[in-house]
Amino acid sequence: MDMGTFTPALVSAGTVALAEIGDKTQLLALLLAARFRKPAPIVAGILVATLLNHALAGLLGAEAAQWLTPDVLRWIVVVSFLAIAAWSLKPDTLDADVPLPAHGAFVATVIAFFLAEIGDKTQVATVLLAAKYHPLWQVVAGTTIGMLLANVPVVILGSRFASRLPLRAARITAALLFLVLAVWVALRGIG
């Protein structure tokens, strides 16, 4: 099987996994793991919330690609990738005064993750990736896998190892990836 067939999924997974490192939702995963100490329902909650959130974001991106001219879309994607590159360099913090839902680990994770992803850089990246790549299901699957790649180890290993992650290097790598994507789209266009 040709790996080019899976390019949208692979690019989406890699992009979101890098963008997620040090993100507020990764901090949320750590907080949920520390609070509930039940990795399986937390991971399941991350999966469900991400699928729902990124499917909606992907639909928005695919719809935008339908009504924008390729040239306008191209420059929107370029500028957006440059903005995400800069955004990736800024460490996220989790608002300490935002209480977690008092429900079980799964429901609390679905609610908290879905809400935390609204307007997040990984959601914005999903919109942009869906505008650029087809089929949509591969983009959503890829971004969801990227979220899981970044968050499952945090949930499983917990706070003990999270402080040892080289978050600054990961943020710089993510910023460089988005910069390369912006240049690539500027030079090659969409599609």
pLDDT digits (tens, 9 = 90+) for 82-93: 876 777 677 655
Q: Has residue 60 been placed in a domain?
A: yes
- Does 158 map to a domain? yes
- Is pLDDT above 60 for 173? yes
Q: Is residue 184 part of a domain?
A: no
Residue 42 binned pLDDT confidence (cut-offs 50, 70, 90): very high
Domain presence at residue 85: no
CA 149 to chain CA centroid, Å, is 10
Burial grade of 84 (CB within 10 A; 0-12, 13-18, 19 or more): buried
Provide, rounded to the nearest whole percent, the portion of the chain with pLDDT above 90: 33
**Greater pLDDT, 155 or 182:** 155
Q: What is the pLDDT of residues 104-148, one digit of tens each?
A: 899 999 998 998 888 788 988 899 899 889 899 999 999 999 999
Q: Tell me what pLDDT residue 162 has.
A: 47
Q: Is residue 189 in a domain? A: no
Q: Domain residues for 68?
A: 3-73+91-163
What percent of the chain is modeled with pLDDT above 70?
Answer: 78
* Any domain includes 84: no
Angle between helices 7-20 and 136-157 (to 10 degrees): 40
Give residue 17's pLDDT: 92
CA–CA dist 163, 112 (Å, integer): 22
Confirm if 136 and 66 have CB atoms less than 8 A apart.
Answer: no
Structural domain includes residue 157? yes
Within-domain flag for 50: yes
The mean per-residue pLDDT over the stretch 69-89 comes to: 75
**Count of structural domains within the chain:** 1
Report the mean per-residue pLDDT for the chain: 81
Determine the Cα–Cα distance for residues 104 and 59; give it in Å rounded to an integer: 30
Q: Give the pLDDT confidence of 3-38 residue by residue, as tens digits.
A: 568 899 999 999 999 888 878 788 788 878 877 878
Q: For 161-184, b where at least 16 C-beta lie within 10 A, e where not — what string?
A: ebeeeebeebbeebbebbbebbee
